[in-house]
Structure 1
Amino acid sequence: MPAISSERSNWYLLQCKPHQDERAHINLLQQNYVVFHPQLLSARVIRGKQQHVRESLFPGYLFIHLGGNDNWTPIRSTRGVSRFVEFNHGPATVTEHVIEHLRARCFESTYSPDDPPLTPGDHLQVIRGPLSTLEGVFIASHGSERVMILLQFLNREQAICMPLSDLERQQTTVHTTL
């Protein structure tokens, strides 16, 4: 890999060994590197029971923040790390804007295991995808990871099945009169 002479720090993309994202993340943190491992909370059926697990947004990849003066040598021999992803004979850089966008998406409260289960009539907000910002009403679960919601769309009500991870429970406000 060519030497990086930039005094400016950048985010770079690392490829991990198969199924060793978490191992690489922990080992890099122990070496005091700044690492970002984007993960989302999702509901999965494991051994017949619904459980909430964190899953890697980009399986097999991590982001690492390095400057030109940082020691890059130990990274290649870190357990779990395979290599730097390269484009045009150099490590691929990722802009700060992209990292901030990913952080915002990963840390949004999309679905928490502490939330009560959805019941028909609950108001939901679409937070991802082409229908983002639309509001809907929960109708029913459609498997463990998808739900059927009723949206006001194209001048009529539409029943749409979508991933639970793309929805957020709307905060209900209670109006009191004095």
Structure 2
Amino acid sequence: MTSSNTARWYLIQTKPRQEARAEEHLLRQHFECYRPIKAPARGAQGGKSGEALFPGYLFIRLDCIHDNWYPIRSTRGVSRVVSFGGQPTPVRDELIEQLRQRLAQPQTMAAAPFSPGERVRVSGGSFSDIEAIFVSSDGEERSVILLNLLQREQKVRVPTRYLQCYS
């Protein structure tokens, strides 16, 4: 497919864990595809390749007057074209460009702001003003804390920004 001004991006839902297969087969049919992949953070442990930003989905660029969706829907690995009101819904070019720019920036793994076992106070959300014990970071924006609720200790995930040092 061409990258002319009439071309638009659309969202494709893939079969479970078949994003790469769907992309490969769509590319073989000369469709332009984009499957955003998060690069592994520096300092992160694990495999070399990144993970899909949107597991189970990829973007495809098509000419707006393209109404024969059958070759796409029948492609190996493709489940369906994401539609609203029975019509495939275009995705703004700006969104795709923002994704590409964001993913091109190097990602660094932030050091945990608290140490395991450290006492913290929750300063927002449902557990505001409750004391807890920091357990671990759960990604870049969430943390696991240990709360004493109803005489039982419960592990809860909360946004890290809600946590403060207990004084």
The two structures have a TM-score, normalised by structure 1, of: 0.55
Residue identity matched to 2:50: R
The CA distance in 1 between the partners of 2:104 and 2:50, in whole Å, is 11
- The residue aligned with 1:10 is 8
State yes or no: 1:92 paired with 2:56.
no
Matches of residues 45-84 of structure 1 in structure 2 within 5 Å? 45=45, 50-70=46-66, 72-84=69-81
Provide the secondary structure at the position in 1 that maps to 2:39: strand
Mapped partners of 2:138, 2:111: distance in 1 = 6
> How far apart, CA to CA, are the structure 2 residues paired with 1:77 and 1:89?
17
Question: What is the correspondence of 1:152-171 to structure 2 with a 5 Å cutoff?
Answer: 163=139
Q: Secondary structure at the match of 1:97?
A: helix
Deviations 1:100-122 (A, max 9, x none): 001111222225xxxxxxxxxxx
Deviations 1:118-175 (A, max 9, x none): xxxxxxxxxxxxxxxxxxxxxxxxxxx652369xxxxxxxxxx68469xxxxxxxxxx
> Could you tell me which residue of structure 2 aligns to residue 147 of structure 1?
111
**Contact kept in structure 2, 1:147 and 1:163, CA below 8 Å:** no
CA distance in 1, matches of 2:102, 2:18: 23
Q: 1:9–1:31: structure 2 CA closer, same or farther, 3 Å change rule?
A: same
Question: 1:35–1:63: 8 Å Cα contact kept in structure 2?
Answer: yes
Secondary structure, in 3 states, of the residue corresponding to 1:148?
Answer: coil
The Cα of 1:42 is off from its aligned counterpart by 2.0
For structure 1, the 5+ residue unaligned runs are 1-6, 112-144, 151-160, 166-178
AA paired with 1:14?
I
Which residue of the partner structure matches residue 22 of structure 1? 20
Aligned-partner Cα distance in 1 for 2:34–2:19: 11
Question: What residue number does 2:34 align with?
Answer: 36
Percentage identity across paired residues of the two chains: 40
Provide the rounded CA distance (Å) in 2 between the counterparts of 1:108 and 1:23. Answer: 26
TM-score (norm 2): 0.58
- CA gap of 1:53–1:38, structure 2 versus 1, over 3 A, is same
Gaps of 5+ in 2: 115-136, 142-167
